[in-house]
Amino acid sequence: MFKSIQKRDGRVVDFDPNKITEAIFKAAQAVGGQDRTTAMELTLKVIKYLEEHFKGTIPNVEDVQDAVEKVLIEEGHAKTAKAYILYRAYRTRIREAKSELMDAVEEILKETHRENANISNSPSAKMLQIASAASKKYYLSRLIPPEQAEAHINGDIHIHDLDFYGKTLNCIQIPLGRLLREGFDNGHGYIRPPKRPSSATALAAIILQSSQNDMHGGQSFAFFDRDIAQFVKGADDNEVYQAMEAFIYNLNSMHSRAGAQVPFSSLNIGTDTTPEGRMVIKNLLLAYERGLGRGENPIFPNIIFRVKDGINFKEGDPNYDLFKLAIRVASRRLNPTFSFMDSSFNAPYGTEVSYMGCRTRVIANRRGPEISEGRGNLSFTTINLPRLAIKSGHNITKFFKELDRVIELVIQQLLHRFEVQARLKVKDMPFLMGQGLYLDSADLKPCDEIRKAIVHGTLSVGFIGLAETLVGLVGKHHGESEEAQQLGLEIVAHMRRRVDEACEEYDLNFSLLATPAEGLSGRFVSIDRKEYGVIPGITDKPYYTNSFHVPVSFPISAYEKIKIEGPYHKYCNGGHISYVEFSAPPIHNLEAVEDILRYMKECDMGYAGINFPVDFCTKCSYLGVINENECPSCGSVDIKRVRRITGYLSTVDRFNDAKRAELYDRVPHRLLERE
């Protein structure tokens, strides 16, 4: 009998037949067998086979495993053979995952991935991403059902925040007012309620940071103006301004997640008409307009200004002056963005609907009150629409059939993740659940499961690349063709119907999300180009167009773009956003910005913003559009370029390659008269 075997790493070691016996016996046990003697007899047959086929040579591990499979099948042990094959495949996945993990770690140690532009390149960020890579491999190989894991790996779907799959939730609208009134404990002792605006905003920053450390997505205040207003009674404008300025400084410098990023923070403001609420809104906007210490554009917070007839939208409304101020600040600093409370789908809730800078919207609730506070998105998964179009050719019937199949797969995956999340304990999220931030979590004990609370959250089915999908199906995207536009609306409406059916079937808050694709925009097209080649209008650029947007490179007027994209907002109840692109800050054309916002409201949009370049010289503090590599004022090359990426702001150096390519393709939208 031969005495050696070659391992996968090339080492030659002593051959041990007992390992074959043990493997066969375990496979037999998996299908109900208990006979070790039979396993030993089969081992002898395997050895005989190897001796006959490897005379004078040393077999490797794969050779031995192939021999085991062959003998099991030929000797009539088909069930045992199947169990052995499945176990062998499982072990292969584990080895590949370990190998891929080591490769990923090697790359991360050079520079962190740019999947999220809010992640720095610091040592703590590197450690976070190494842990992230390990978590992804674990969940895909050991926790997520194989069909769902394979769909993610091959690019049919994308499970967002996969590294946090079984650890926590996505995002929340924090009940700031209650926490400030009652005080809270973020781990080392009770924090008493504040008495002055500066203390209130300092604690608000701490609350955002504490919540961010418990979650993987965004942290938002649904009614920042109202909740801070109670602490500014008796204060003057100067005191409130100083509090807001310090708050903005904190949110751009106070890191969370072990120092890897600042909190992904959003503030909803605009509808508090009390003197104190107005003072909060005004001074927050003025402090944001002033910028950071040397005039730099703040990255956070995302500010969302609620627009509402009778409150701030028309001359004579009590907060119309603040709406005008919001337009001025947005035209200089990119923030605030604007949410429209009078849209057909927001109007039934008055001024209750709150958004996040990434576009998330949570309001309808099958399991409790339809409010924003104390609720958020639990997780979301995105469908690769362009791939379905490629596979379907021009057969639209086939496309919808495939779409239904993938939607059902995503719904089952979201249900699987929900069950994993629901089994988490309050102590796993000590601030989020332990301090009662999530609706119905206040009376839970540390070892209780969080299911009772998270039934109020949403499970979102997302989509990307509608434009490329339409090119694949009818040869043109919705900016080029009315036929394509009608088909686009039919596709998104169809998805919404399927999502609503899932709500009824499972009594959970499923929603349809216009995905904020960042790293994903390049990932999907890279996989599809490798499999299907370069297809004009579909896989011929490094990214897929975000959600239902008209392609960023397509020349179109601002009003045409708004008219085309507006009808999609009502279908995407889990979140949506549209933009108009300017070539420079429109600070000297505020009337045009206001008219654009009014047209957005007319076209039934729920959430929107304006984009333009914001460049800042870190040497001389020059602020403006710098088209060259050098500052026009001092000649420095140290220029910070701020742009919007999937809803929030970041510097261009943190954009991944796909989003950078998309940025360079963006063309300004023409400001023509309304049609």
Mean pLDDT (whole number) for 218-232: 97
Asked whether 488 and 478 are in contact (CB, 8 A), the reply is yes
pLDDT at position 645: 87
What does the pLDDT look like over 322-339, one tens digit per residue?
Answer: 999 999 999 999 999 999
CA 668, CA 641: separation in Å to the nearest integer? Answer: 17
Mean pLDDT (whole number) for 522-539: 96
In this structure, the number of other CB atoms found within 10 A of the CB of residue 286 comes to 17
| Tokens linked to 376 | 């958020």
Give every CB contact of residue 205 below 8 A, 6+ residues apart in sequence: 247, 250, 251, 254
pLDDT tops 80 at residue 2: no
Q: Is the dihedral of CA 537, 653, 301, 337 positive or negative?
A: negative
Phi, psi of 87 (to 5 degrees): -65, -40
CA 648, CA 577: separation in Å to the nearest integer? Answer: 11
pLDDT tops 90 at residue 32: no
- Greater confidence, 142 or 223? 223
Mean pLDDT (whole number) for 72-91: 85
CA 333, CA 291: separation in Å to the nearest integer? Answer: 8
The CA-atom distances, in angstroms, between 11 and each of 7, 30, 57, 59, 514 are: 5, 31, 14, 12, 52
| Tokens linked to 636 | 């420095």
| Tokens linked to 84 | 């052995």
The DSSP code for 670 is B
Mean pLDDT (whole number) for 132-160: 90
pLDDT tops 60 at residue 111: no
Hey, is 196 helix, strand or coil? coil
pLDDT tops 70 at residue 98: no
The DSSP code for 230 is T
| Tokens linked to 1 | 């009998």
Asked whether 607 and 345 are in contact (CB, 8 A), the reply is no
Share of the chain above pLDDT 90, in %: 76
pLDDT tops 90 at residue 30: no
Per-residue pLDDT band for 654 (boundaries 50, 70, 90) equals confident
CA 219, CA 331: separation in Å to the nearest integer? Answer: 25
The CA-atom distances, in angstroms, between 478 and each of 75, 162, 200, 483, 556 are: 61, 32, 47, 8, 12
Closest CA to 574 of 306, 337, 420, 375: 375
**Residue 270 identity:** G
Per-residue pLDDT band for 626 (boundaries 50, 70, 90) equals very high
Hey, is 1 helix, strand or coil? coil
Distance of CA 17 to the CA centre of its chain: 50
pLDDT at position 40: 92
pLDDT tops 90 at residue 639: yes
What does the pLDDT look like over 43-69, one tens digit per residue?
Answer: 999 988 888 888 878 988 889 889 999
Residues in the chain: 675
CA 589, CA 671: separation in Å to the nearest integer? Answer: 11
pLDDT tops 80 at residue 451: yes
Closest CA to 120 of 249, 261, 251: 261
Share of the chain above pLDDT 70, in %: 93
Per-residue pLDDT band for 115 (boundaries 50, 70, 90) equals low
Range of lowest pLDDT (18-32, 149-163, 479-493, 552-566): 18-32
pLDDT at position 122: 62
Terminal Cα distance for the chain, rounded: 87
Give every CB contact of residue 80 below 8 A, 6+ residues apart in sequence: 24, 27, 28, 30, 31, 33, 72
Phi, psi of 60 (to 5 degrees): -100, 180
Closest CA to 568 of 490, 622, 503: 490
CA 450, CA 580: separation in Å to the nearest integer? Answer: 41
- Helix 385-392, helix 466-474: angle, nearest 10: 10
pLDDT tops 80 at residue 123: no
What does the pLDDT look like over 238-288, one tens digit per residue?
Answer: 999 999 999 999 999 987 655 567 888 999 999 999 999 999 999 999 999
pLDDT tops 60 at residue 117: no
pLDDT at position 247: 97
Beta bridge partners, 380, equal 460
Give every CB contact of residue 323 below 8 A, 6+ residues apart in sequence: 270, 305, 307, 312, 313, 317
pLDDT at position 110: 59
Computed over every residue of the chain, the mean pLDDT equals: 92
CA 496, CA 571: separation in Å to the nearest integer? Answer: 6
The DSSP code for 557 is B
Give every CB contact of residue 618 below 8 A, 6+ residues apart in sequence: 294, 296, 636, 638, 639, 640
Phi, psi of 470 (to 5 degrees): -65, -35
pLDDT tops 80 at residue 101: no
What does the pLDDT look like over 393-436, one tens digit per residue?
Answer: 999 999 999 999 999 999 999 999 999 999 999 999 999 999 99
pLDDT tops 90 at residue 351: yes
Per-residue pLDDT band for 138 (boundaries 50, 70, 90) equals confident
pLDDT at position 635: 96
Give every CB contact of residue 643 below 8 A, 6+ residues apart in sequence: 611, 613, 614, 649, 650, 651, 652, 655, 663
Beta bridge partners, 256, equal 261
Per-residue pLDDT band for 1 (boundaries 50, 70, 90) equals low
Mean pLDDT (whole number) for 110-130: 60
Q: Do the strands 302-307 and 337-340 form a parallel or antiparallel pair, or are they unpaired? A: parallel
The DSSP code for 426 is G
pLDDT at position 99: 66
**Residue 643 identity:** R
pLDDT at position 255: 76
What are the structural domains of the chain?
Answer: 1-143 (no CATH), 145-169+358-576 (3.20.70.20), 172-349 (no CATH)
* H helix runs in 139-175, sequence order: 146-154
DSSP letter string, 618-665:
TTT--EE---SSS-TTT----EEEEEEETTEEEEGGGS-HHHHHHHHH
Farthest-apart Cα atoms in the chain, separation: 97
pLDDT at position 246: 97
